[in-house]
């Protein structure tokens, strides 16, 4: 999943379906290995399934469900006939709940939300202009973004939202930066702290980074956009118009400090004295 999403191509609308398909493939593989039928119970698969669902619950956001709902392919007979257990997004309880949550966020006005709900009902049910033969056939053939450009004019508000979401690229850079921060905190010089303490320090570090973006210095001062450089300590001279200062919440002096599990700080060793 990380390798697939770490790209500059739009794939936000594919994530929800990929997770469902992945879980189905894992189940089929385990049941085939154990020689079990679909209606039989597998203790091993139950454990694996719980792990996958827990991970998915942490990664899933309402935007995944909304983008999934706006992908015309998932309403086409071509996609639905591939698996008898598949249902269109407007008949899935979880997806519908998350989609409505997004609509309330995007359209706080009750009047606008009613208009969008009507547009979505026409789109998902294939009513009015969406009943056109080419519109229905193209749902399972055309790229979702192209489909909305071609056939989405009867629902202008929904079309505008769909073009934003279906053209949204994904990236794993946030995960990788988080891992980079963790490797800085839990290094060979500081490897006695518990995993929970390391996670807490990573949490504090990332939130300090986010809070700093609200400061005047970040927007206008000499330290403008300071965190573009990530966790590196290399000089950013010659960055040009961005005026990035070589600043970081990661103090290099902390590299020589050792924290014990009890939270006690051990004085750093002076290399020159030793």
Report pLDDT digits (tens) over 58-76.
Answer: 778 888 899 999 999 999 9
- Does the residue 245 lie in any domain? yes
Higher pLDDT pick, 171 / 115: 115
- Does the residue 177 lie in any domain? yes
| 138/151 Cα distance (integer angstroms) | 9
Same structural domain, 50 and 139: yes
Percent residues over pLDDT 90 in the chain: 35
Partners of 169 in beta bridges: 10
| 68/62 Cα distance (integer angstroms) | 10
Same structural domain, 48 and 104: yes
pLDDT band at 148 (very low <50, low <70, confident <90, very high): very high
Average pLDDT over residues 38-44: 87
Q: Which of 116, 140, 170 is the last residue of a domain?
A: 170
Same structural domain, 164 and 179: no
Number of domain units in the chain: 2
Give the chain's mean pLDDT: 79
Whole-structure pTM over 0.75, yes or no?
no
Same structural domain, 86 and 135: yes
Same structural domain, 26 and 118: yes
pLDDT in tens, 169-215: 776 666 677 777 888 788 777 778 888 888 888 888 888 877 877 77
Residue 131 contacts residue 121 (beta carbons within 8 Å): no
- Does the residue 249 lie in any domain? yes
| 172/10 Cα distance (integer angstroms) | 13
CA 237 to chain centre: 33
The domain in which residue 33 lies consists of 2-170
Same structural domain, 82 and 160: yes
Same structural domain, 125 and 256: no
Q: Which of 139, 170, 201 is the last residue of a domain?
A: 170
Residue 11 contacts residue 170 (beta carbons within 8 Å): yes
| 35/156 Cα distance (integer angstroms) | 52
CA distance to 33, 34, 36, 37, 51, per residue, from 44 (Å): 11, 10, 12, 14, 11
User: What are 230's two structure tokens?
Assistant: 């990530």
Q: Tell the burial category of 64 from Cβ atoms under 10 Å away from its Cβ (0-12, 13-18, 19+).
A: buried
Q: Which of 148, 170, 192 is the last residue of a domain?
A: 170
- Does the residue 68 lie in any domain? yes
- Does the residue 273 lie in any domain? no
| 85/38 Cα distance (integer angstroms) | 13
Average pLDDT over residues 21-45: 89
Same structural domain, 164 and 76: yes
pLDDT band at 268 (very low <50, low <70, confident <90, very high): very low
Same structural domain, 120 and 154: yes
Same structural domain, 83 and 189: no
Same structural domain, 162 and 258: no
The total of other beta-carbon atoms located within 10 Å of residue 196's CB is 9
The total of other beta-carbon atoms located within 10 Å of residue 29's CB is 12
- Does the residue 57 lie in any domain? yes
């Amino acid at each position: 999943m990380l390798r697939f999403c770490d790209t500059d191509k739009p794939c936000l609308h594919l994530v929800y379906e990929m997770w469902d398909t992945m879980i189905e493939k894992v189940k089929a593989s385990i049941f085939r290995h154990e020689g079990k039928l679909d209606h039989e119970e597998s203790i091993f698969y139950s454990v694996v399934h719980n792990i996958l669902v827990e991970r998915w619950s942490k990664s899933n956001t309402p935007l995944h469900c909304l983008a999934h709902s706006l992908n015309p392919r998932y309403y086409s007979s071509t996609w639905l006939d591939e698996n008898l257990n598949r249902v269109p997004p407007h008949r899935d309880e979880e997806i519908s709940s998350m989609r409505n949550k997004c609509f309330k966020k995007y359209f706080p006005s009750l009047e606008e939300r009613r208009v969008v709900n009507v547009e979505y009902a026409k789109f998902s049910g294939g009513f009015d202009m969406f009943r056109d033969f080419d519109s229905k056939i193209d749902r399972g053939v055309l790229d979702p973004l192209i489909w909305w450009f071609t056939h989405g004019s009867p629902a202008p508000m929904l079309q505008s939202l769909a073009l934003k979401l279906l053209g949204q690229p994904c990236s794993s850079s946030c995960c990788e930066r988080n891992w980079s921060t963790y490797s800085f905190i839990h290094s060979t010089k500081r490897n006695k702290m518990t995993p929970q303490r390391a996670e807490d320090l990573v949490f504090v570090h990332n939130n300090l980074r986010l809070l700093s973006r609200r400061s005047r210095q970040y927007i206008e001062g000499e330290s403008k956009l300071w965190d573009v450089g990530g966790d590196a300590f290399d000089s950013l001279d010659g960055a040009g118009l961005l005026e990035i200062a070589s600043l970081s919440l990661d103090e290099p002096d902390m590299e020589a400090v050792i924290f014990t599990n009890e939270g006690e700080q051990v004085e750093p060793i002076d290399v020159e004295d030793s």
